[in-house]
């Protein structure tokens, strides 16, 4: 009997729906024992988020500063496959998942174990996945595949739609802003990844060593966002250090620092981002080969 463990943390329930769609074919197999574990912080994060609290966790999220988690009790000590599903917070894995990956329990669960990562996000996920890959390497896990489902309303509108969803709990609080979130059809069609995993586990008894999802459009790389993500991630790292030095998470000093940061961030989005996008478009003929190489790298291991 093959054993598969899914690890999940979902605030809105959207990621849980994605995981359920992928998992359904696996659950139906009589040759696979499937188990889902939800990671839960000891002090739950709110949803919807109060405005200031949403940004208060930014510095610790970027620094991947672990929070206390409730104990989890997997049925087994080892699994044939772990499916790790996570949200992206501030270009980083969500704080509960980042915390779990740094736990002693993760060391024993992930060691020498094949892993499929599943991401549900607004659209910018490359830097978060780089951080997760680094954690998995430290855990001696073997990343075989990555699945990414992203927001359907487009990069521009998602800058508004997703924060509004996080702050109001409503996917479409304003009539002129498209609904936030991943399209229902995309979630339903994610079942194809579960079918591929089920078939590999049922028809080949050897250990999992290679990608199971190549050719299934598991990820899509938006080349226009690569440079923006890298730049933003660098900026986030600097501000994370500054804000953590200013004061503790709930302090008034941190609140004042965050107000300055939010103003800086909005200014950056309205000025630097469109200017850099224009510059990238102008020089794109000179950087075509570099972009192709970057797309190939970030699309691994499953490929576009």
Structure token pair of residue 206: 């050897």
Q: Report pLDDT digits (tens) over 121-165.
A: 988 999 999 999 999 999 999 999 999 999 876 666 677 888 889
Q: From the CB of residue 164, how many other CB atoms can be counted at a distance below 10 Å?
A: 18
Out of 76-85, 102-111, 226-235, 250-259, pick the least confident. 226-235
- From the CB of residue 246, how many other CB atoms can be counted at a distance below 10 Å? 17
Name 1's Cβ contacts closer than 8 Å, sequence gap at least 6.
31, 32, 33
E strand or H helix at 35: strand 32-38
Query: Containing domain of residue 236, as a range?
Result: 1-304
Give tens-digit pLDDT for 197-220: 999 999 999 999 999 999 999 999
> Can you give the pLDDT at residue 156?
64
Quick one: which of 245, 249, 240, 243 has its CA closest to 53?
249
Say what the pLDDT of residue 154 is. Answer: 65
Task: List the CATH number of the domain containing 240.
Answer: 3.40.50.360
In contact, 236 and 90? CB cutoff 8 Å? yes
Rounded to whole angstroms, the Cα distance separating 79 from 33 reads: 10
Q: Considering its fold, how many domains does the chain have in total?
A: 1
């Amino acid at each position: 009997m093959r054993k598969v463990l899914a690890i999940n943390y979902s605030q809105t329930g959207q990621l849980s729906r994605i995981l359920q769609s992928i998992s359904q074919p696996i659950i139906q197999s009589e040759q696979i024992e499937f188990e889902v574990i939800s990671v839960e912080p000891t002090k739950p994060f709110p949803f919807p988020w109060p405005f200031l609290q949403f940004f208060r966790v930014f510095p610790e999220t970027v620094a991947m500063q672990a929070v206390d988690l409730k104990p989890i009790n997997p049925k087994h000590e080892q699994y044939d496959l772990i499916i790790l599903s996570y949200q992206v917070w501030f270009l980083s894995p969500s704080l509960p998942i980042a915390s779990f990956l740094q736990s002693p329990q993760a060391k024993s669960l992930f060691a020498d174990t094949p892993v499929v990562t599943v991401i549900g996000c607004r659209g910018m996920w490359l830097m978060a996945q780089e951080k997760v890959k680094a954690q998995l390497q430290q855990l001696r896990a073997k990343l075989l595949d990555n699945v990414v489902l992203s927001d359907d309303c487009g990069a521009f509108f998602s800058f508004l739609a997703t924060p509004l969803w996080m702050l109001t709990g409503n996917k479409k609080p304003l009539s002129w802003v498209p609904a936030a979130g991943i399209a229902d059809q995309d979630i339903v069609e994610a079942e194809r990844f579960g079918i591929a995993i089920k078939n590999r586990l049922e028809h080949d008894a050897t250990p999992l060593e290679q990608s199971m999802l190549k050719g299934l459009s598991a990820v899509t790389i938006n080349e226009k966002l690569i440079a923006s993500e890298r730049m933003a991630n660098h900026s986030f790292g600097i501000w994370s250090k500054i804000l953590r030095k200013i004061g503790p998470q709930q302090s008034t000093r941190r609140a004042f620092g965050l107000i300055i940061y939010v103003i800086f961030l909005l200014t950056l989005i309205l000025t630097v981002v469109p200017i850099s996008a224009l510059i990238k478009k102008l020089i794109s003929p000179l950087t075509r080969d570099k972009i192709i190489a970057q797309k190939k790298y970030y699309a691994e291991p499953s490929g576009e």
